[in-house]
A and B are shown apart, each in its own frame.
Chain A
Amino acid sequence: MEKPKVLYICHNHPIVRPGGAEAYALELYEGMRQHGEFEPIFVAKGGPPLSKRKQPHPGSPFGLVDGDPNQYFVYTEGYEFDYLYGSMVGKEFYTKHFHEFLLAYKPAVVHFQHTLFLGYDLIREVRNTLPNVPILYTLHEYLPICHRQGQMIRTIGGNELCDRESPQRCNECFPDVSPQTFFMRKQFVQSHFSLVDQFIAPCHFLRQKYIDWGIPAEKIVFEEYGRHPVKPLPEKIEDRPRNRFGFFGQLNPYKGATVLFDAVKHFKQELAAKTASSRGRRSSAACEVPVDIAPDIRIHGANLDLQPGTFQNEFRAMLEATKDRVAMVGQYKHEDLPRLMSEIDWVIVPSTWWENSPLVIQEAFGYGRPVICSNIGGMAEKVADRVNGLHFRVKDPAHLSQVLHEAANSPGLWEALRRGIRPPYSMSEHVNSVANMYRSLRRRKAEAA
């Protein structure tokens, strides 16, 4: 008896570009294979804009990912993607190529991880071609809701956080796109989403946002990302301050690296002011004033080259101005994490958008690193302030500077917060839970059919 197949569809493959959602998606694929009940197939968007590789075989948009017969790149050469509607202009991409693919594999479950660069229409093609197959869709950010790369940050009012969309509000952010168009965009996306059997939200905050937007609550379940368990790094008793902070993640404007730079600058100014005043005192009283311990920050990040030029320039200038305290380590591989985590004490997640369930938080906790994060959205949900980490006011470098100061200069704090960390949700539990969903959805569909 052949195993039922699960088809995963993702906008990118981690071997092309690192990224949280795609890394998770591939881990789920691998976890599902080990689980054994289903035979997973992974289809990731290949080629531009993320990769320079071209479609390998004329006449077919599919190309095998080297070494694994169940993994494919799908290339979209010759098709234009409409970023506003999230849809391929040439519909034969769906009705011809994907149609043939679905017929060739006849998956028993289709689980979307992302439809960016591929289009929401894929959902409809699956429904048309395989009418009784459960369709799942994991929501990794707010792209269906927000045209601004799904970040829910407004273009007006200094990148103010956005708490809800409406045609008028979206039009304020994008004056060239009419409210009517935004209305149609929402109707369009929801028309495809209505064909999904089960949405998965990795955080409660995001789940609520989608319910507010219009997905029926019963169709969307909370299910945290699973992580492969890692060995927590030993808590060495060290006679040194806990002043080493690490940033891990995409170097895009919404991940807040620049807030971190500003906080470091702020810290340096404060320190300089204090030193000046203590020098003033020293002349009168010859006692030693304890000198504050400054933070050492290491940036592990990727994809700066994909960002707008102004951001790249701003980033590099700030890095130059704070280079005595901030080291740019660059892109990292997943297998490097134990070493990189051992070189820092804290993980900083200073994102200026809501976030979903940042994988870096789970990774930090896995290695026993307390997290300092913005006090909003998914971050605030996953990190409990003063239990296993510290919150600071989002986009407030002065406050972050204070928190960094406190973290580096409060003996015992790090150890206390480390003890508050619970091991992250494991991949095997997660895979079991997702496989249960597949099973019960299949049963439900079969009964309905």
Chain B
Amino acid sequence: MPIKLEAIAADPNAHEPRGNGQASDASRPDSLVRMHTGSWLCDGLLMLVGSAHELENGLLKATLTLDGEVVAARAETWPFTSDIARGAREAVYIVACPEGTTRGIALQHLLLGEGNDSIEYGRPQLPNKLTDVGRVLCNSVASLSTEERYRFMAFLIAASAPALRLERGNQVAEALRNVRDALRERLAAAEESPQNSLSGRVDQVKAVTESMYVLRGWVANEAARLARFTVVTPEGSRIELADRLHRYARPAVDAVFGATDGGGQAAKYGVACTFSTQIPCRLDHGWLVEVVDESGRAMEIEWPAIERDEALVRNTLLGEVGDECRAGNDALISDHLAPALMEIQRCLDAETRIRKVVQYGKALERATVSLVVPLYGRLDFLEQQLAQFGQDPEIAQADVIYVLDSPELDKAVTDIAAPLAKLYGVPLRVAFMENNSGFARATNAGASLATGRLLLLMNPDVLPDRPGWLGRLVAAHDGIPNVGAVAPKLVYEDGAVQHAGLFFHRQPGLGLWNNEHFFKGLYHRLPAANVARRVPAVSAACMMIAAELYRDMGGLSGQYVQGDYEDSDLCLRLFQVGKEVWYTPEVQLYHLEGQSYPSALRSLTSGYNQWLHTHLHDATIEKVMADFRAGEGQG
């Protein structure tokens, strides 16, 4: 809404500010175009209160002279009707100075806006001296209604947002917390007592990022339904969660408080919620939640310090997904836990970078196949694989790309790669990842370097035992008319089948889909395991796919934690676009599965990954399996 100056009273003594804006109207008294008071909120962030202006932009250029120095800044305006000035239109101006500006003492000159659309304030229109924040608030917004004050807080946070992101952001946040504490309507502190008909506690808050949090606690609202459950950040952001809370049974709490809640339902006093803040919050203390029920009972709950350890937060969330999955609390997972884990995985995308690519041996002019092999944790497979590749003229014609996804092994790889490439006569490239980015991201990074028409995604523990396999795999791939992906037979060291294609099996009870291997553990010559056929999915331990198709599909999904289900996820997406996935037993390689993946971590991640896989592809899996059974004549 455009700002209009109201209650214009004539004052013959008015000093005329120069400039071409509204304030330059000669008939206007200078009391209406001055800054009455001001204060530094913190270094670089100046708050002024004065008459409201009619400049066109909310965000203005501001040029100020501070202790004799001219500083270029930005100003934001928040107009309000002042009680103290008997209904006059006033405004709070937040002037954000560039980084490095400290609190000046004397504000000598201020120009808001630019060119024709500007107002200039000289010494007489500026406060004599800057005062403290409390006094400025008292003389301006403190007397406004609660709602108005909260609106002001929201404005203040938005105006401070760029400063909050700076290195001195914590100082800014502390300053905002002081403002919040001055303006906030306090409620009674929560007491955990069965005598109260409204009690509660926040047990734990985990930071997913600086602007996403997962809260757990309980609220015993015996008397009435919740009207408000408002998280107040230290900076004063208010986030209303009453409609979004997940309520769940907390037997220990439910037993102490009333057996039915204020809505007449069986008591489920547990509270869980994932929420986002409008700006990143770095303070761990000063968070609280205001709780009000429909009959007007109100309390505020202070929080324990926020848990910000990334690995701990992730692993705790993964564990919770596992528990809730078993308990069948799907809503809690889909609405609260999974969004948090998805955010964590999204953040990893931003951190994924190839630091450098090094060519060992002579670079190839042209290759049909690019092998992409991620290395993680163990390097002995590198030599084992190269020792086998070295016997094979087809590999010599292939584009061999290793992706080192263990930055701590950079030096070890640098030391051995050149001699290995030379000894085994295999030219290769190594892409060194900046961070450990996980199987999917590392593979995608490697694929982005590929020059071949075909990609062969390969695990380092997949070992051929004789040459000739790569050509046969290419022939198999190219012989399938509508090919999506094709994968060979993989065999354990004891001659048992490791991989002969994958299928999906719905777990009874939970309804989640398991990825199952055909004929796993059975002898590799079993006739049934030696039929080339279309299968629901294949393993990415060794999977051939056209490079262009792979890129069109967006590669492997980075949504899964630590490497699981990416292969079937890709196969299901291939199915959705009408491509076929095939198993071919004409090629047989060894796969020493699971040697480099700690099983404790796998058991932690598998619950979430499985949930996500089912959640993303439930209908597709049904269709794939129905098609497969029809094709196999098992109806």
Contact = CB atoms under 8 A, between A and B. Distances in A.
Contacts of A101: 522
A62 B496 contact: yes
A63 interface: yes
B521 A61 contact: yes
Contact of B492 (A57, A70, A92, A105): A57
18 contacts: A56-B496, A57-B496, A57-B498, A59-B517, A61-B521, A62-B522, A63-B494, A63-B521, A64-B494, A64-B496, A72-B522, A92-B508, A96-B516, A100-B516, A103-B528, A104-B522, A104-B529, A105-B526
A59 B523 contact: no
A60 interface: yes
Interface of B: 492, 494-496, 498, 505, 508, 516-523, 525-529, 593-594, 599
A218 interface: no
Contacts of A104: 519, 522, 526, 528-529
A96 B505 CA distance: 9
Contacts, number: 59
Contact of B593 (A58, A62, A96, A105): A58
A28 B381 CA distance: 43
Interface string A68-96: 01101000000000000000000010001
A104 B632 CA distance: 13
B489 to A, nearest CB: 14
A249 B271 CA distance: 64
Contacts of A58: 593-594, 599
A70 B599 CA distance: 30
Nearest to A68: B523
Contacts of A72: 521-522
A66 interface: yes
A57 B593 contact: yes
B378 to A, nearest CB: 18
A106 B496 CA distance: 18
Top 4 nearest A-B pairs by Cβ distance? Answer: A60-B521, A62-B521, A60-B520, A69-B523
B439 to A, nearest CB: 17
A57 B520 contact: yes
Interface on chain A toward B: helix, strand, loop, or mixed SS?
mixed
B517 A64 contact: no
B592 to A, nearest CB: 11
Nearest to A103: B528
Given A61-B521, A69-B523, A92-B508, A56 B494 contact: yes
A100 B502 CA distance: 13
Contacts of B527: 2
A274 B527 CA distance: 74
B520 A59 contact: yes
B281 to A, nearest CB: 42
Contacts of B599: 58
Nearest to B519: A104
Contacts of B518: 100
Given A96-B516, A104-B529, 9 more contacts: A57-B496, A58-B593, A62-B496, A62-B520, A63-B494, A64-B494, A64-B521, A100-B519, A103-B528
Interface string A158-173: 0000000000000000
A57 B505 contact: no
Contacts of B523: 64, 69-70
Contacts of A2: 527
B494 A66 contact: yes
Nearest to B634: A103
Contact of A63 (B496, B516, B593): B496
B210 to A, nearest CB: 38
A40 to B, nearest CB: 14
Nearest to B523: A69
A104 B528 CA distance: 6
A61 B516 CA distance: 12
Contact of A69 (B495, B520, B594): B495
A103 B527 CA distance: 12
A59 B494 contact: no
A427 B607 CA distance: 52
A376 B466 CA distance: 63
